[in-house]
Structure 1
Amino acid sequence: MLLDEAHTIKNKDSNIGKAVEHLNSIYRWCLTGTLIQNKIDELFSPLRFLKIKPYCEWSEFSYHIKRPFSKKSGMVSATARNKVQTLVKAMCLSRKKTELLDGKPLVVLPERIVNVNVNQFDEDERNFYDVMFKRAQAKFNKFRREGTIMKNYSSVLVLLLRLRQCCCHPSLATVFGDQIVAAAGDIVELEKLLLDGMPNDVVQRVINNNEQMECPVCFDAIDHANGKIIQMCGHCFCNECCDNLLTSTRLCPHCRGNMERDKILTLHSFLKKYNPSALKNEEEYLAKEEVVKKEDELLKKNDWVSSTKIEALISCIKKSMETNADDKIIVFSQFVGFLDLIELPLRKLGIKYVRYDGSMSTKTRSEAVEQLKKDKETRLILISLKCGSLGLNLTCANRVILMDVWWNPAIENQAIDRAHRMGQTKDVYVERIVIQNSIEDRILELQTQKQQLSDGIMGHGEFGNQRQTRLSIDQLMRLFRDQDA
């Protein structure tokens, strides 16, 4: 029995993870390029499936493997690191694209050239970002003084999300206020019926987990304006991942229960009925948010659509088209709204492009990919990172532009590998567009720590001493430190 994309079972509590354990087979294999993405716990499900004793038992794994990585100090001993490396070395046949066999490459691939395209905000954007950062910092410091950072973990992630959006385009961070107003209306009759029909144990579980609202698919923050809940099981997802699931598997990744579009609730509606105090705290804070006059006027101009990142993107596209007329380009962003903004200058420049995101049907997405492959005039594809980082073969393109920074470097690497894979005949050029002196600098630091954990466990590099769970208080404090610190 062979599991392809075996990182799909990384959640030990998911039904799919439990189900594959009970399948009958003599031999078992797992295939994955990302054995661990976020935390050491993700190693357990493959061990359980492969029946590697004694660590296929959670009690043994938890005590001998997980516990040393969960110390409050955040430090991991050399003994613990060596134990994990020895275990992984014994169970894994690990190969990298760059490895040689008898002096020859295992896989013959063109070169991958990655450039970090560092940009500075213009004056207006810098003023806007600084205002948003100071407000987010003040909110975080309030939680810190009260000793409630982890209790308000979801709210802290939302603050970070807004700063990440600011780096792309100011309007992404301010549209949220309009969403709050729109969502604050009366719950429609259908949602009332769905809410009344939620099982009591499911309601209580969602309320209890409200402090840890992260999308289990993309690990991004969920707030009441961008969260969806499946009525019968109560599992929560961000809007985009929910749309992706509804157009693909139609199954909840947690419990494998059926997902039906007319039985999906907004998190706002749920909180309004069952936990209004949690909703009130966030809305009161958002109600106090006022964008300074200069930025407000800037965003109200109908003809203003650009940003530093969009200008950097257009520059990259023009340079590519001038020097390599046949090259095709993949543009990734985790924010669908940002892809909307990018479309405007592409149209003005007459650049023929297609789009691929979770709001599109499977058929429409397939047609977009086919058009990119077969139509010489279609030079570019806009892809939502959450939707298109896996399962796509886009070797027809050899230029990849990452418009924003993702928490998890494995997701970015998977996105790049849509082009840099077997079948690619050209060198692949990657541009990572980042903003200097912003939250993106600090996320890049965290990416390095995550990569150290993954590389260290696989024996491909230095392990690093950082424990790998959700962001610690110390890491959050570094993210919210003063810009010039």
Structure 2
Amino acid sequence: GEEGEGGGGGGDDDELEAKNVRAQRAKERREKLERVAQKSTLHRLHWFRIILDEAHAIKDRRCSTAQSMMALHAQHRWCLSGTPLQNRVGELYSLVAFLRLEPHAYYFCKAPGCNCKCREYRFDANYSKCEYCGHGPVQHYSRFNRDVVNPIRKYGYIGAGRNAFVTLKREVFDKSLLRRTKEGRAQEMVLPPKLITLEANFLDDTEMDFYQAIYTQSQAEFGAYVQAGTLLNNYAHIFDLLTRLRQSVDHPYLVMHSKRAIEEGGGGAAATPSAPICNLCYEDATDPVASSPCGHAFCRECIRQYVDSCPAGAPLTCASCSLPLSVDLNDAPPAAGSPEADGASRARRGITPEEPLTQGGGGGGGGGVRLKGILGRLDMAQFRSSTKMEALMEELHAMSEADPAAKAIVFSQFVSFLDLLEYRIQRAGIKVVKLNGGMSVAAREGVLNSFKDDFGTKVILISLKAGGVALNLTVASHIYLMDPWWNPAAEYQAIDRAHRLGQHKPIRAVRFVVRNTVEERIIRLQDKKRLVFEGTVGGDIGSLSQLSEDDLRFLFQN
């Protein structure tokens, strides 16, 4: 399951050193797990059948949960999941290994005549000889990596990469996967129809001038990396350029009044210890995690998207300082100074995180309620809407006129854009609530209950950082996706928050996109990934988040 295994072009010494490191780590994990298993009643029993629900939770085979599941003894094993493949193909290895699927769950030795076959690396104390066959680490390989992961990482969707997708479909999915889709069980589920539309708009002259200025600058920087042959080495900065372009299409304020822009301009809105800034979206970090050794903070979802989209061969570096990036997304500690870092003491005192206030005086006025987030950095007397915001308002007014009882879900990648939308919707006299990843459990439940139970609450704003999954919002029949992502499955999952059992109204989902901007290219990139994926693996089983070098060139082309 280590995706980089065997994928590079280094010498035997480098490969041997890398495999020695992996073998040592595997041994340490195995010894730790064996100590735990000796004390565990569950691990001492031999089960007839083990069924993992939400099996994608073990997608990282190195996490303790996955290791514990692998060590259970059973005659039969099942995995239940709506999204067995979420971000990258390598995540499937945990399910393949848990199910003991032949031959891809195993490691083999390529020494002539050797029939060594094992589920994990097992080498002696010096990591020089296999405990089963006596051959060295460099002779051993993961069958799943060799046949599937490495070709896809190296070649993407063409040539050997496409052949690897076919192998994945025929040798893994076709032999082990029993699929139940909404389309295939439509008569049994009796779900109402679902209509997904794409609403394309044009920026006004002022917005387009602002966007073009950022795009021209970004394209020049991108071109410089191409000329120097350092494109992949600078992926962290390229990801930053793409983020700024996407934000400028939503609203120029997201770039002009981001915390980074204020700090660089000496505006005095510097971050405080209680509000670390995400070094990818440049807003208060949501569910913050810190990279080591540099300590820079990120939203957990931002850094997850950054890692998932990183092209094969590109070094994972901190987007702020370019040091090697090291973040454990499964159990990362909160960033220093974050609300989560002192959450325990705050909980003991009965204090809950303060929610942003979006009423009363503006950031430039004196009296009234103090605004938080991006609204606190604006002169609200000079507030201007944006093309996307007004397009959404037209949709909401039309929804209310057609069905006064209708409710809507609005999704965005950017928390600050949701703050702007909340202000604009409230100003129109529409009752709205907002859900983001920084909320306490109690606050989150309060927002969801208000949306579900209060007839007057018509709109809920949801950050994808708060999770497009694990929400049941069948009270809504309209879904608005404010900004596209090159991972199309994220949009499917968002729409499925309302289109599921318990829904009795037809669902209308609108994907907003702005013409002649990077968003059009993201939509086309989505279509390309979807066609390739459905043509090989089949259906809408998951997503491919990784961006190739060709994808990056496409996004920045004229």
Q: Same fold (TM over 0.5)?
A: yes
| Whole-Å separation in 2 of the counterparts to 1:142 and 1:15 | 43
Query: How far does residue 262 in structure 1 lie from its aligned partner after superposition?
Result: 4.8
Q: Residue 55 of structure 1 is aligned with which of 81, 104, 111?
A: 104
Query: How far does residue 183 in structure 1 lie from its aligned partner after superposition?
Result: 10
Q: Structure 1 residues 115, 263: CA separation in 2 closer, same or farther (over 3 Å shift)?
A: closer
Does residue 317 (structure 1) correspond to residue 381 (structure 2)? The answer is no
Does residue 99 (structure 1) correspond to residue 184 (structure 2)? The answer is yes
- Is contact 2:192–2:503 with CA below 8 Å preserved after alignment? yes
- Is contact 2:236–2:318 with CA below 8 Å preserved after alignment? no
| Whole-Å separation in 2 of the counterparts to 1:130 and 1:217 | 25
- Find the structure with the greater CA-based Rg: 2
SS in 1 for 2:425: helix
Report the number of matched residues.
Answer: 408
| Whole-Å separation in 1 of the counterparts to 2:241 and 2:335 | 31
| Whole-Å separation in 1 of the counterparts to 2:201 and 2:52 | 42
Does residue 75 (structure 1) correspond to residue 163 (structure 2)? The answer is no
Q: Which amino acid aligns with 2:517?
A: S
Query: How far does residue 429 in structure 1 lie from its aligned partner after superposition?
Result: 0.5
Q: Structure 1 residues 79, 390: CA separation in 2 closer, same or farther (over 3 Å shift)?
A: closer
Query: How far does residue 354 in structure 1 lie from its aligned partner after superposition?
Result: 1.1
Please give the residue correspondences for 1:335-484 in structure 2 after superposition, counting only pairs within 5 Å.
335-460=414-539, 470-482=546-558
- Is contact 1:398–1:429 with CA below 8 Å preserved after alignment? yes
Q: Structure 1 residues 324, 99: CA separation in 2 closer, same or farther (over 3 Å shift)?
A: same
Does residue 173 (structure 1) correspond to residue 255 (structure 2)? The answer is yes
Instruction: Name the structure 2 match of 1:27.
Output: 76
| Whole-Å separation in 2 of the counterparts to 1:75 and 1:349 | 50
| Whole-Å separation in 2 of the counterparts to 1:179 and 1:153 | 24
SS in 2 for 1:379: strand
Instruction: Name the structure 2 match of 1:243.
Output: none
- Is contact 1:168–1:307 with CA below 8 Å preserved after alignment? yes
Instruction: Name the structure 1 match of 2:124.
Output: none
Instruction: Name the structure 2 match of 1:16.
Output: 65
Q: Residue 304 of structure 2 is aligned with which of 216, 221, 234?
A: 216
Please give the residue correspondences for 1:282-301 in structure 2 after superposition, counting only pairs within 5 Å.
none
- Is contact 2:84–2:541 with CA below 8 Å preserved after alignment? no
Q: CA RMSD in A?
A: 3.6
| Whole-Å separation in 1 of the counterparts to 2:427 and 2:52 | 46
SS in 2 for 1:152: helix
Query: How far does residue 365 in structure 1 lie from its aligned partner after superposition?
Result: 0.9
| Whole-Å separation in 2 of the counterparts to 1:107 and 1:427 | 14
Query: How far does residue 448 in structure 1 lie from its aligned partner after superposition?
Result: 2.0
Query: How far does residue 105 in structure 1 lie from its aligned partner after superposition?
Result: 2.0
Query: How far does residue 470 in structure 1 lie from its aligned partner after superposition?
Result: 2.9
Say which is worse superposed, 440-449 or 468-477, in terms of deviation: 468-477
Normalising by structure 2, what TM-score?
A: 0.66
Instruction: Name the structure 1 match of 2:347.
Output: none
Q: Residue 130 of structure 1 is aligned with which of 202, 212, 215?
A: 212
Instruction: Name the structure 2 match of 1:305.
Output: 384
Q: Structure 1 residues 85, 380: CA separation in 2 closer, same or farther (over 3 Å shift)?
A: same
| Whole-Å separation in 2 of the counterparts to 1:423 and 1:6 | 24
Instruction: Name the structure 2 match of 1:279.
Output: none
Q: Residue 233 of structure 2 is aligned with which of 151, 163, 169?
A: 151
- Is contact 2:248–2:254 with CA below 8 Å preserved after alignment? yes
Query: How far does residue 74 in structure 1 lie from its aligned partner after superposition?
Result: 5.0
| Whole-Å separation in 1 of the counterparts to 2:191 and 2:271 | 56
| Whole-Å separation in 1 of the counterparts to 2:335 and 2:261 | 28
Instruction: Name the structure 2 match of 1:286.
Output: none
Q: Structure 1 residues 94, 340: CA separation in 2 closer, same or farther (over 3 Å shift)?
A: same
SS in 2 for 1:70: helix
Structure 1: gaps of 5 or more residues: 192-200, 237-251, 267-298
- Give deviations 1:408-455, integer Å, cap 9, x for gaps: 111111111110000000001101111011111111122123323543
Say which is worse superposed, 467-476 or 156-165, in terms of deviation: 467-476
| Whole-Å separation in 2 of the counterparts to 1:186 and 1:260 | 13
Query: How far does residue 73 in structure 1 lie from its aligned partner after superposition?
Result: 7.4
| Whole-Å separation in 2 of the counterparts to 1:12 and 1:462 | 20
Q: Structure 1 residues 188, 96: CA separation in 2 closer, same or farther (over 3 Å shift)?
A: closer
Query: How far does residue 107 in structure 1 lie from its aligned partner after superposition?
Result: 1.9
Q: Residue 84 of structure 1 is aligned with which of 165, 168, 181?
A: 168
Q: Which amino acid aligns with 2:444?
A: R
| Whole-Å separation in 1 of the counterparts to 2:446 and 2:105 | 43
Q: Structure 1 residues 143, 79: CA separation in 2 closer, same or farther (over 3 Å shift)?
A: closer
- Is contact 2:70–2:97 with CA below 8 Å preserved after alignment? yes
Say which is worse superposed, 383-392 or 126-135, in terms of deviation: 383-392
- Is contact 2:202–2:515 with CA below 8 Å preserved after alignment? yes
Query: How far does residue 26 in structure 1 lie from its aligned partner after superposition?
Result: 3.4
Structure number with higher helix proportion: 1
- Give deviations 1:82-117, integer Å, cap 9, x for gaps: 3221121111111210115xxx72421001101101
- Is contact 2:202–2:514 with CA below 8 Å preserved after alignment? yes
Q: Which amino acid aligns with 2:234?
A: N
| Whole-Å separation in 1 of the counterparts to 2:421 and 2:184 | 38
Tell me the percent identity.
Answer: 34
Instruction: Name the structure 1 match of 2:293.
Output: 203
SS in 2 for 1:127: helix
Normalising by structure 1, what TM-score?
A: 0.75
Instruction: Name the structure 2 match of 1:245.
Output: none
| Whole-Å separation in 1 of the counterparts to 2:423 and 2:339 | 32
Q: Structure 1 residues 138, 165: CA separation in 2 closer, same or farther (over 3 Å shift)?
A: same
Q: Which amino acid aligns with 2:293?
A: V
Query: How far does residue 61 in structure 1 lie from its aligned partner after superposition?
Result: 0.7
Q: Which amino acid aligns with 2:86?
A: Q
Query: How far does residue 258 in structure 1 lie from its aligned partner after superposition?
Result: 5.4
Structure 2: gaps of 5 or more residues: 1-49, 108-141, 277-290, 311-315, 342-377
| Whole-Å separation in 1 of the counterparts to 2:450 and 2:496 | 20
Q: Structure 1 residues 182, 361: CA separation in 2 closer, same or farther (over 3 Å shift)?
A: farther
Q: Which amino acid aligns with 1:162?
A: R
Does residue 142 (structure 1) correspond to residue 244 (structure 2)? The answer is no
- Is contact 1:34–1:410 with CA below 8 Å preserved after alignment? no
SS in 1 for 2:83: coil
- Give deviations 1:301-355, integer Å, cap 9, x for gaps: 8422300000000000000001111111111111010011011221211111111
Q: Structure 1 residues 19, 184: CA separation in 2 closer, same or farther (over 3 Å shift)?
A: farther
